Structure 1
Amino acid sequence: HLRTALAGPLPAALDRDDLPERAARLLEYVWTETVRPSWERRRHVLEADVGARTARVSRGGWAAVLDELRPGTRWLGGNRFQVNTHVYPPREIAGAQLVFVPVTPQTGWVSWDEPPSRYAVVYPCAGVLADADARRSSVSAALGALLGAARAEVLVLLDAPLSTTQLTAVTGQALGSVGRHLRVLREAGLVERRRAGRSVLYARTDAGRVLVRAAAPDSGRARAR
């Protein structure tokens, strides 16, 4: 596969009999030192992203979700899906599996096995979930002043249903704090909860959505125009 990807001979550093063993040790090191310490939080972020995009399907259909996966993806209609902006010949994948894989780094790619029977579109989690700076910037000063920054952050995140555990992992707030924020938001009619299997999910109500939209940074400019 490496020779195919490089379209030529392997570099000397890779042309060795013990390459599989060395690669396995490298992957183990990466997992142990860089992924496992934060895996619980990453896992909840990934689950939250899947939940958010599933809710998006119910509101806008598959086309809306595919158009927003990552830069370059677009539903073209007629069973055609654009995965990037490169000018490559179209690939027929009828009969193969197509899976969507979220990752926490803000990047993405497409991969497949050989012979191609399964394709994976790897896409970054929504920035508001995975990126703390993006999440903070999505909370307007007006909403933060009204509710408090931490509580406003919870309300903004609940555009799609999330559990208390997911909110705790995504925001970094303590479980007790998240629980108090949810209780206050529910009592104010801004958030509702429902059971999904063994989980309890929270989401914004219509009133909560109106409040978030009204307090958005560009809402004042829109009204002024």
Structure 2
Amino acid sequence: MTLLRLSPRALSRSRFALSPLAETFGALRMLTNPCTDPWLASWHERHAATFRARVASDRFAAGLVRLLVTASWLPDFVTLPPTGGMRTTLAQELDAVRRFSDPEIRTQLEASDQHTDIAGGLDWLEGTGWAERCAQLLDTVWRDHVRPDWPRRRALLEREVTYRAGLVAVYGWSNALGNMNKRSEWVGEDAIRFSHRPMADRVVGPEGMLFVPVTLARGTWLCEVPPDSFALVYPARGVAERGGGPADDRVRALVRLIGPVRARILLELSRPATTTELATTLEVSLGTAGGHITVLREAGLIEGTRVGRRVVYRRTDDGDRLAG
């Protein structure tokens, strides 16, 4: 078992962040494999073939992607803690990737190659300028496959952060982390278990650590910059379930009963959200979303709770019964 140890100050300064690099790395892994996530099924269908053809035509890219997808030990240059909080950009993160030297890249890839069940070696690692080539591959995946879908993804990730931040404010970090993923859990008052492997514990620095959601149904990894900067990447809550929901005939009945937009809002509120987040997800104006939220609230189907400057809406028991 390996722990992340946090002092009281580190815990108090821990926070959430977004990472386009983590989202891009997750997308790269998804595009390589069959899609099992209903929420991303249509995106995967549009992009997978193009991505795979591009990778197959480039020996360096093919070798790198194979290793990144199969290795249980990820290289540091794709697992960097974001530095811009909720406004982190991929350009910022790729600048950090490009600062790795060729010897550092080789050392990390050799470590990854020792933790994969698919033997392949590193004979594809030819020439020089490997950090730049890695950055170019990630930039291409972002530009062609992730960025067109980023508004939808970002809206979901911001909802996740709103939800978790509300839990932290009311119940503390231990409850907020309780169901982040199957591998991590709070241990005692000052540590997070993030791996069952018997490795040295990590000590989080006084600036705290970052929690970074991504739009993957499963998978989590630790980002670190020695000696004490860490970020835990985890699947946003409920992503895998968002493609499911009530049967079509019941959805149609709900639409007839309360109208299409109100029905969609009620179904979306299986996870708490703000008016802005709902408007973005449903692609309606802020005024339209607000008007329908008012009706649903007055009917006792949803309720709002203020979290900082935001009002977060969730379904009431009556709303849950109607949506089901």
| Superposition TM-score tier, normalisation by shorter sequence | 0.7 to 0.9
Q: CA deviation at 1:82?
A: 1.7
Aligned AA (2:134): A
Cα 1:24–1:92 shift into 2, 3 Å: closer
Q: CA deviation at 1:113?
A: 3.2
Maintained 8 Å contact 1:102/1:122: yes
Q: CA deviation at 1:6?
A: 2.9
Residue-by-residue CA offset, 1:194-222 (whole Å, 9 max, x unaligned):
5954xx53424xxx4221344575xxxxx
Deviates more, 1:136-145 or 1:61-70: 136-145
Query: What secondary structure does 1:113 align onto?
Result: strand
Correspondence for 1:13: 124
Correspondence for 1:23: 134
Residue-by-residue CA offset, 1:143-199 (whole Å, 9 max, x unaligned):
9375456424423544665333311333x34236533421311332433475954xx
Residue-by-residue CA offset, 1:96-155 (whole Å, 9 max, x unaligned):
642110011223322333433212210111125x75314x34999499375456424423
Aligned AA (1:53): R
Correspondence for 1:181: 292
* Unaligned ranges ≥5, structure 2: 1-107
Match of 2:201 among 91, 98, 101: 91
Q: CA deviation at 1:94?
A: 4.4
> Hey, what's the Cα distance between the residues in 2 that align with 1:166 and 1:89?
40
Match of 1:104 among 203, 212, 215: 215
Query: What secondary structure does 1:83 align onto?
Result: strand
> Hey, what's the Cα distance between the residues in 1 that align with 2:128 and 2:121?
12
Aligned AA (1:112): C
Give the number of equivalent residue pairs. Answer: 208
> Hey, what's the Cα distance between the residues in 1 that align with 2:307 and 2:167?
19
Correspondence for 1:121: 232
Deviates more, 1:17-26 or 1:185-194: 185-194
Correspondence for 2:58: none
Q: CA RMSD in A?
A: 3.5
Cα 1:148–1:126 shift into 2, 3 Å: farther
1:201 maps to 2:311: yes
> Hey, what's the Cα distance between the residues in 2 that align with 1:216 and 1:63?
30
Deviates more, 1:55-64 or 1:30-39: 55-64
Query: What secondary structure does 1:31 align onto?
Result: helix
Cα 1:18–1:77 shift into 2, 3 Å: same
* Unaligned ranges ≥5, structure 1: 218-225
Q: Sequence identity of aligned pairs in percent?
A: 31
Report the TM-score when normalising by structure 1: 0.73
Query: What secondary structure does 2:234 align onto?
Result: strand
Aligned AA (2:265): V
Correspondence for 1:144: 254
> Hey, what's the Cα distance between the residues in 2 that align with 1:194 and 1:138?
32
Q: CA deviation at 1:68?
A: 0.6
> Hey, what's the Cα distance between the residues in 2 that align with 1:177 and 1:35?
28
